[in-house]
A and B are shown apart, each in its own frame.
Chain A
Amino acid sequence: MNKEDYIQHGLNDAEAEKLLEGLGREPTITEMGIYSVMWSEHCSYKSSRHWLKNLHTKGVHVIQGPGENAGVVDIGDGLAAVFKMESHNHPSFIEPYQGAATGVGGIMRDIFTMGARPIALLNSLRFGEVNHKKTKHLLSGAVSGIGGYGNCVGVPTVAGEVGFDKSYNGNILVNAMCVGIANINKIFYSAASGIDNPVVYVGAKTGRDGIHGATMASGEFDKDSEKNRPTVQVGDPFTEKLLLEACLELMKEDAIIAIQDMGAAGLTSSAVEMASKGNVGIELCLDELPKREENLSAYEMMLSESQERMLMVLKPNKKKLAEEIFLKWGVDFSVIGKITDTKKIKVIYRDKVEANIPISSLADDAPMYVRPIKNRKIDKNLTHQKTNIGLKEIILKILSSPNICSKRWVWEQYDRTIMANTINRPGGNAGVVRIEGTNKALSLSCDVTPRYCHANSYEGAKQAVAECWRNIVSTGAKPIAITNCLNFGNPEKPIIMGDFVSAIEGIKDASIALDFPVVSGNVSLYNETDGEAIKPTPTIGGLGIIEDVKIQSNHHTQRDGDIIILIGGDGKHLGRSIFREVIFNAEDGDAPTVNLDNELNNGNLILSLISDKKINSVHDISDGGLIITIAEMIISSNIGAKITLQNNLTNSNGDPEMLYEKMFGEDQSRYVITVSLDKVNDVIDQCTKSNVSANIIGDIQKNDLEIDGLVTISNNELIDSYESVLPDMMNIK
């Protein structure tokens, strides 16, 4: 084997050695390509596999945990929710529209491959600083790509988050999540079986796009990363819609033995995964492959990442029926091979054997590394402590900061109401979607706070799980399970690997304590450009169940005269807060700690208050702390609030003592609720009995936010600060 060849294919000396050992001879160029993608970080999880085993993946609702196309949970009524989140970071930085669009397409295929009709999309996006030269272009492209794909297929985008930070200047994150609903007895899996059964290719034709996409996604970027543009796939949502309908129609019949979508590493990885899971061999004849152009080589066909394609193993007697369904929908259908007993993948093209590799060598024997780890030093000190900026200006500055401001410019480009089941509005606690034909709804959220994870990866990851749980609780839903998308830098650097391992620990501890198991997920490493890594970003996507759609809660349904109660105690922690980021431009201190016992206790109390119909509105406290939480409630309801926190007590100089910790501290496990006057005593009693801190801090009234008689900000001023930022930035009037 030529060293230059295998280095170019992303293999190191030891891996080349292992390849020769597994194959027992020199590889052909096609075989080299197959090894290259199967052993890439993206497909083999070689740096992360060892640690992912530690995640908590079991629970009463779990039908299928990690390892399949998506996770599956039981939601009652004979139905299952199928969901997963996946990253499409590298391609989206190079070509934001197509990169983001195909990210959405890929995650939807993971869902309908399992027999579920997609009913909701979410996304978590991270961009560089707002004034960085690429940010506008990347934001605009990624958002229209997500909309362009999801809107066309006809699945509502119901929730998400958008953040900006300089660490993403050279490496944006596009994490897309999809949720589908399936009949619990009709879940489809990927393990192939039945010697001589036909292997069928359906979907779009194969072209040259996306070749080595998985390898690209397994390396760092540098100044020349633009040249990778041809490795970005091009999406065709119309074909996806046809493929979706055709697959779901065929799935009603008893025809499919195994099915797998062609995602990263295309035909190679889908064929190898199906054979590996079924412990069989697979033989492919590429002459039968639907092709977009002539003269594709076997190498190109095996590595192409052309979108909207699926591989299935069918019952032989159902081949004709299946073909008719796909032809009706105008989707290509071709028998391209069969299942064998050789436990090898054999690829034939123009009567020549292009590859013949033991499946175990590609899958089970893929490299795995336990890379060195170094723990990040946590500095708990805060630098600046005082500011001369007035309270009103502070509040408006925070509301208009990029990480807090309204994302209306983004979510108005996503169809949120298609399927006619979307219940709540964006900007709230979580997306809520009714389940057709039942009285139930799903509550969905995706969350992570990278500035916490950067300070303290363990606490940050724990917080991401807890915040997701809290958002779901705030809608009145019982949290059920999570998926994740672990975005980190180069794992060969011990400090990054240390962050990764701590994050896994944090996710594990939180998901055990909150009974919120991980059922699917994705790892995206090497998110670096010119050696600069992103902040650790372990995005958590959660799902909860609302048993009765009529009993759910919102953050904009407060009524004039309601009493405002702070649940979970006063704020004390300003480290890594939005307040310090915006006012001092400071990234300092430790992340707030989540006390998981309090989290569970406070959340369970909120759930019982909602189900007893004792509260009119609820919002969890997160970025920006108490005052920003209340401001968000005012903005979305246009009803003001009068707050008493005792900021007006004077200090030794006779000036009011500003209680920044109380107002903007980001202590965890807290909520703001509003309660009708006649129910206040009852609610306080219930809190006391449950050992949960509850403080009356004001009431709902008038058209402004008033704090301690020191500051009065009209609802309109709050709305203007919050709403005008993105339209101004994107030059929309």
Chain B
Amino acid sequence: MDVSLIIFPGANCDKDTSLAIKKITGKHPKHVWYKETTLPKSDLVILPGGFSHGDYLRSGAIAAKAPIVKDLVKKSADGIYVLGICNGFQILTECGLLQGSLIRNNSLKFVSRNVKLRVERNDTIFTSNFKEKEDVDMPIAHHDGNFYIDDANLEKIEQEGRVAFRYIENNSKYNPYNPNGSLNDIAGVYNKNFKILGLMPHPERAVDKITGGDHGAKIFESMFQSIS
């Protein structure tokens, strides 16, 4: 399977993501510079986290206009799989591949902590290695992770089962379970055909027990087993 990682200037989770993939598949993904105009042959394209272009406009807004993203939009119509993590998720909403937007956290502050998530369905290529409705832990670290969408589309996303991950109760008074105010506690969503996933948590930082957990590894394992 061919995996490409798009590198925007200001991306800072590209190395972690690359290492996580290497750890799980034994192979580094191809790195594609944002100024390229055509993606190399890929089954899966990953947009890593970070601060593309400094996030000086809306997070992800400038990156969404990069030449490579045009090609990504085109190729996703042909059915390649796309994963956007954190800033990558923001870019996917900015370029229209995913619905909704990620607005400033309701605390108005950057938040870095571990969250509890429920995997809402385990029948997509991103989640096939999870148990049904499995509860998992993953780190988040973002300033703009508050998922927002109009009521009609929110209902539609829910009805179509397109919520991928939801923040769930963690029984901690000083650690609100929904860390950013996302509607319906949404931490990640799919597009209509479940081939595109965007999520705010960082699975690439959760691939090793010694550094705080390995639940994120299951996302990568699911993808590589499903697609290969």
Interface set of A (CB-CB < 8 Å, partner B): 144, 147-148, 151-154, 236-239, 241-242, 329-330, 406, 408, 411-423, 434, 436, 549-550, 719-720, 723-724, 727, 732
Select from chain B the residue with minimum beta-carbon distance to A154.
Answer: B12
Contact partner of A153 (CB less than 8 A), chosen from B12, B110, B139, is B12
Q: B109 — which chain A residues lie within 8 A by C-beta?
A: 144, 412-413
Q: A154 — which chain B residues lie within 8 A by C-beta?
A: 12-13, 50-51
Let me know if B16 and A419 touch, CB within 8 A: yes
Let me know if B110 and A415 touch, CB within 8 A: yes
Select from chain A the residue with minimum beta-carbon distance to B15.
Answer: A419
Contact partner of B10 (CB less than 8 A), chosen from A238, A411, A416, A720, is A238
Among B159-167, B185-193, B201-209, which stretch is in contact with chain A?
B201-209
Q: How far is the CA of A411 from the CA of B173 in the complex (A)?
A: 17
A681 to chain B, nearest CB (A): 31
B8 to chain A, nearest CB (A): 11
Among B38-46, B52-60, B67-75, which stretch is in contact with chain A?
B52-60
B57 to chain A, nearest CB (A): 12
Q: Which size class do B's interface residues fall under?
A: 20 to 34
Q: B20 — which chain A residues lie within 8 A by C-beta?
A: 420
Let me know if B16 and A152 touch, CB within 8 A: no
A326 to chain B, nearest CB (A): 13
Select from chain B the residue with minimum beta-carbon distance to A716.
Answer: B173
Can you list 21 pairs linking A and B with CB atoms under 8 Å apart? Answer: A147-B110, A148-B110, A151-B110, A152-B55, A154-B13, A154-B51, A238-B51, A242-B10, A408-B175, A412-B111, A415-B112, A416-B141, A417-B112, A417-B141, A417-B205, A418-B205, A420-B207, A420-B208, A720-B173, A727-B174, A732-B107
Q: How far is the CA of A436 from the CA of B109 in the complex (A)?
A: 30
Let me know if A414 and B12 touch, CB within 8 A: no
Select from chain A the residue with minimum beta-carbon distance to B112.
Answer: A415
Let me know if A723 and B51 touch, CB within 8 A: no
Q: How far is the CA of A148 from the CA of B143 in the complex (A)?
A: 9
Q: B53 — which chain A residues lie within 8 A by C-beta?
A: 238
Select from chain B the residue with minimum beta-carbon distance to A413.
Answer: B110
Q: How far is the CA of A724 from the CA of B10 in the complex (A)?
A: 36
Q: How far is the CA of A151 from the CA of B50 in the complex (A)?
A: 9
Let me know if B174 and A416 touch, CB within 8 A: no
Q: How far is the CA of A342 from the CA of B28 in the complex (A)?
A: 51
Contact partner of A423 (CB less than 8 A), chosen from B16, B207, B211, is B211
A552 to chain B, nearest CB (A): 9
Q: B10 — which chain A residues lie within 8 A by C-beta?
A: 152, 238, 241-242
Q: Could you tell me which residues of chain B, from 1 to 56, have a CB within 8 Å of some CB in chain A?
A: 9-10, 12-13, 15-16, 19-20, 50-51, 53-56
B46 to chain A, nearest CB (A): 15
Q: A412 — which chain B residues lie within 8 A by C-beta?
A: 109, 111-113
Q: A418 — which chain B residues lie within 8 A by C-beta?
A: 12-13, 16, 141, 205
B23 to chain A, nearest CB (A): 10
Q: How far is the CA of A720 from the CA of B139 in the complex (A)?
A: 24
B210 beta carbon closer than 8 Å to chain A: yes
Let me know if B139 and A408 touch, CB within 8 A: no
B79 beta carbon closer than 8 Å to chain A: no
Q: B96 — which chain A residues lie within 8 A by C-beta?
A: none
Chain B CB within 10 A, most for which of A151, A236, A411, A732: A151
Given A420-B16, A422-B212, A238 contacting B56 (CB threshold 8 A):
yes
